[in-house]
Structure 1
Amino acid sequence: MSARRERRGLRLRLRLRLTSLTIAASGLLALLIGIAFAVLLWAIADANSSTSARRASRSALVEAEGMERLLLDLETGQRGFVITEREAFLQPWKSAREQLPAKASRFTESTTSSEGRRTAEQITRGIASFLDDYSVPLVEAVRHHDPAASTLAKTTEGKQRVDTLRAQFHQYMVAERAQLAAREDAARTNGRRAVLAACVGLAASTALVAVFTVLQHRAVVRPVRRVVAAARQLAGGGLGVRVPPSEVAEIAALGASFNTMAASVQDNRRRIMESVEAVHRRTARDLHDGAQQRLVSLMIGLRLARELLPGTETSVADLLDQSIDNAQTAINELRELASGIYPLVLTVKGLVPAVRDLASRCPVPAVVESRKERRISSTVESNAYFVVAEAVTNAVKHAHASRIDILLDFADVLRIRIADDGVGGVGDAPAGNGMTGLANRVAAFDGTLAIESPPGGGTTILIRIPVPS
């Protein structure tokens, strides 16, 4: 008993709540969408950062190339002036010397790393040293016609300085190009990762929506459809219909309320039928014990009076004979009326004798067969008797049957089979043919009713009514 209670408590704890499920699914979906958007925003920011970094690297390369051309202009102008001693060849040198401070500043500031900045500052100092310590003194010496200015040693010194600076420029630009390539590779990798993450997030969101839709269909739509179908069946007279339990708390509460309502309607119908049956039984008993007995006494008195009358009183004798006939007719009609309200044989002998009595009064041949005959609850007996009576009446009135077979089987449940050889087609018959009343009466006692009635093939009614032990 305790284990059963524990399992029931566990089921109640595990029962889903539709509101909680919706909130959880919506929150998870919002989280996935938020993560996907965050990844996309990060990818956009990273792409913008990579674009800026690539632009800065390209700008640094441009400034480095400009600085290197400036060095070449210094060296070319200086060499032409040394060879020709003509001021016209010194013009590129002068122009490069004027541009050097601003160009050096831009070159240093365009660097994109601390190591590149150190290299740029070293190159800038080297160019400044080349200009101040070598090139300017050499130009001034040439202007003063110093023979030492054009010696091989001076020329070699200048070439070595320029080669050293150009090697530094080459090293700087190689490093900057490698950094640019690395940044482009990183940007492409991050872009692919962002697209992959966005696709994964979109796929996960789609899968979550699909799973939630399927779960909602199983947990909500199907149970609601079952409740709707059960409501239609209940409205059609199927009072025994019940809604199975659901794992969703709200749907379970709806099903429990429906089942309570259906059970209440069924109980009310059963109590009404039991009350009507009690009224019928009491009315039949009152008719039998009251009015019928008085009529019998009246008829006996009339017969005694008729026997005491002299033979000469013919007119009075005729009147008494007529009164006796009327009294007998009234007794017969009253007995028939009492039997129709509630047959006395049903109370005294049970269901099978009452059905046999009903079959004996049927206008068409009716054969009654019984199995495992026994007495059952008077309420079930009364209900079953009137079900059989209504089915026989329908067969006589609507089916135009020439034979009716009735089977009563008293097993774990009461099984009743009423078959006729009439016109059939009950399923296509208009409403009001009596089948609705049969179904309602059977459903009031948790019973089931099935009809087989092919057109032209007769009608078979199968009834199952639970028998209380």
Structure 2
Amino acid sequence: MNAGREHQGRRLGLTSLTVATSGLLALLIGVAFAVLLWAINDANNSVSDRRASRTALVNAGNMEQLLVDLETGQRGYVITEREEFLEPWHAARKALPAESRRFTDSTTSRGQRGAAERIARDVRSFLDGYSIPLVEMVRRGDPAAGGLEQATEGKRRVDALRALFDQYMADERVQLAERTDAAGTNSHQAVLTAAVGLAASTALCAVFTVLQHRAVVRPVRGAAAAAQELAGGDLGVRVPPSRIAEIGALGTSFNSMAASLQDSRRRIMESTQAVHRRTARDLHDGAQQRLVSLMISLRLARELLPDAESSMVDLMDQSIDIAQTAINELRELASGIYPLVLTVKGLVPAVRDLASRCPVPTVVVCEDERRVSPTVEANAYFVVAEAVTNAVKHARASRIDVLVEFGEVLQIKVVDDGIGGVGKADAGSGMTSLADRVAAFDGRLTIDSPPGGGTTLLIRIPIRD
């Protein structure tokens, strides 16, 4: 008996037990996956039906929006007789054929397709039978275009079409609710099946997964996030060191590359600013001075001419005016390239000069004013100039405040009381260029622009001695 038990113990050793457990686990996983595939297929069908209903609702909404654009565009044109009010009308008219096809093709049942085709025909009829003739009547100056009869007819047609849209979308939402319930039930079954079938394999893989995540996945994710920030223009990002040799070497190479790119961009900006300063100086000291000398000579010649020579006097006066205009334009061009006051007096006087020429009242406040690197001053100035220009053009601001603080970090805050609602995602290429300027010197640019609460640009650039 003891021998038999020992023999049986040897037969059920670790290898045999592992093989038996693995076989049982494989069988359980096989059955679980078979059930899971069935449940997933059913869930996928429900999800596809639900997605089709949502697409149908979206297309119905787009179609209804075209109707609204047609109606509002023609109504605005009838009231004002101004062509710009027809822009949405023209856009809706152009998009109608393609949108009608998408609308009818996205239906999810035979009944809904019939309703969609009827709506498409009625919208087309509204455009061809009412909207286009009404616009033509206005263009011909027909007084009946603005009459009660036409307005009543338009309202009746639009109300009827909106009622059709409402019914269509109500029916589609009923189908969507049913499909959503079915998808939820199928998804629940799939999740339950997967949880039961994969419980054993999850326990076996958990320890390895945790170790792999800590040793490999987390550092790689950090490197990927840093690479994404680098691709977005933040050349100051760095990868932290890792105890894993390969990942540590990757981080060192990444940091060296980022530092090299940052130094390269800084050198390019410094070179560009030097070219701008030299160009502005050459324009001021060369062409501008020659034009000033030319204008002085013309004025002296004008004084030497007798008043009897009226034609010659007029010609000289015109020449003097042309020379003065050229001087003003050249001075403005040189200031746009690189303001002379920025080179001579520094950042704060240049910003104050910018504020004095701004059409919106602009207040500049400075703390601990001093000179810093010419390249930093130039980039900071152009960032402020762009921010002020955006506030004037787009923010509808009535006041702009600029606060400049010197310390270990040059901090500039540009605040306007405009409409706000600006973010980096929709601020355009100009804001990206500003961020690049600041990032080239290890700086940061942030935007705080709540809708209706104005816009605040905060620029922080480290000052190196």
Q: What is the TM-score of this pair, normalised by structure 2?
A: 0.57
For each residue in 1:416-443, what CA deviation from the matched residue of structure 2 results, as whole angstroms up to 9, or x when unmatched?
Answer: 1111112212127635252111111111
Find out whether 1:330 has 2:326 as its counterpart. yes
2:368 aligned partner, one-letter code:
K
Alignment of 1:165-184 (within 5 A): 181-184=1-4
CA distance in 2, matches of 1:338, 1:186: 100
CA distance in 2, matches of 1:394, 1:245: 41
* Distance change in 2, residues 1:395/1:314 (3 Å): same
CA distance in 2, matches of 1:323, 1:196: 105
Find out whether 1:442 has 2:424 as its counterpart. no
* Distance change in 2, residues 1:195/1:256 (3 Å): closer
Find out whether 1:348 has 2:344 as its counterpart. yes
Out of 283, 287, 291, the residue aligned to residue 283 of structure 2 is 287
Find out whether 1:364 has 2:363 as its counterpart. no
Q: What is the TM-score of this pair, normalised by structure 1?
A: 0.57
Q: CA deviation at 1:311?
A: 2.3
- Equivalent position of 1:386 in the other structure: 382
For each residue in 1:149-169, what CA deviation from the matched residue of structure 2 results, as whole angstroms up to 9, or x when unmatched?
Answer: xxxxxxxxxxxxxxxxxxxxx
For each residue in 1:39-91, what CA deviation from the matched residue of structure 2 results, as whole angstroms up to 9, or x when unmatched?
Answer: xxxxxxxxxxxxxxxxxxxxxxxxxxxxxxxxxxxxxxxxxxxxxxxxxxxxx
CA distance in 1, matches of 2:406, 2:210: 47
Out of 370, 373, 384, the residue aligned to residue 374 of structure 1 is 370
- Equivalent position of 1:153 in the other structure: none
- Equivalent position of 1:408 in the other structure: 404
For each residue in 1:322-344, what CA deviation from the matched residue of structure 2 results, as whole angstroms up to 9, or x when unmatched?
Answer: 21121111111111110100000
Q: CA deviation at 1:194?
A: 4.3
- Equivalent position of 2:221 in the other structure: 225
Q: CA deviation at 1:215?
A: 2.3
CA distance in 2, matches of 1:211, 1:409: 53
CA-based RMSD: 2.7
SS state at 1:214 partner: helix
CA distance in 1, matches of 2:242, 2:228: 19
Contact 1:394 1:433 in 2 (8 A): no
Alignment of 1:145-294 (within 5 A): 181-184=1-4, 186=6, 190=9, 194=13, 210-294=206-290
Q: CA deviation at 1:184?
A: 4.9
For each residue in 1:107-141, what CA deviation from the matched residue of structure 2 results, as whole angstroms up to 9, or x when unmatched?
Answer: xxxxxxxxxxxxxxxxxxxxxxxxxxxxxxxxxxx
Contact 2:424 2:447 in 1 (8 A): no
* Distance change in 2, residues 1:429/1:210 (3 Å): closer
* Distance change in 2, residues 1:207/1:389 (3 Å): same
Q: Deviating runs (4+, > 6 A) in structure 1?
A: 205-208
Contact 1:274 1:379 in 2 (8 A): yes
Q: CA deviation at 1:304?
A: 1.0
- Equivalent position of 2:313 in the other structure: 317
- Equivalent position of 1:421 in the other structure: 417
CA distance in 2, matches of 1:217, 1:227: 14
- Equivalent position of 2:303 in the other structure: 307
SS state at 2:456 partner: strand
Question: Which structure is richer in relative contact order (CA contacts within 8 A, separation 6 or more)?
Answer: 1
* Distance change in 2, residues 1:245/1:428 (3 Å): closer
CA distance in 2, matches of 1:234, 1:398: 30
2:244 aligned partner, one-letter code:
V
CA distance in 2, matches of 1:280, 1:395: 25
Contact 1:371 1:410 in 2 (8 A): yes
Point out the more displaced range, 454-463 or 311-320: 311-320
CA distance in 2, matches of 1:295, 1:267: 41
* Distance change in 2, residues 1:403/1:192 (3 Å): farther
CA distance in 2, matches of 1:206, 1:228: 27
Contact 1:223 1:246 in 2 (8 A): yes
1:407 aligned partner, one-letter code:
L
CA distance in 2, matches of 1:415, 1:197: 71
Larger Rg: 1
Q: CA deviation at 1:400?
A: 2.2
Find out whether 1:298 has 2:309 as its counterpart. no
Q: CA deviation at 1:208?
A: 8.7
CA distance in 1, matches of 2:10, 2:229: 60
SS state at 1:230 partner: helix
Structure 1 gap ranges (5+): 1-180
Structure 2 gap ranges (5+): 23-200
- Equivalent position of 1:12 in the other structure: none
2:428 aligned partner, one-letter code:
G
CA distance in 2, matches of 1:429, 1:359: 28
For each residue in 1:12-38, what CA deviation from the matched residue of structure 2 results, as whole angstroms up to 9, or x when unmatched?
Answer: xxxxxxxxxxxxxxxxxxxxxxxxxxx
Q: CA deviation at 1:387?
A: 0.9
SS state at 1:401 partner: coil
1:329 aligned partner, one-letter code:
T
For each residue in 1:175-207, what CA deviation from the matched residue of structure 2 results, as whole angstroms up to 9, or x when unmatched?
Answer: xxxxxx44456557x4699479968xx99x998
SS state at 1:394 partner: helix
CA distance in 1, matches of 2:292, 2:383: 32
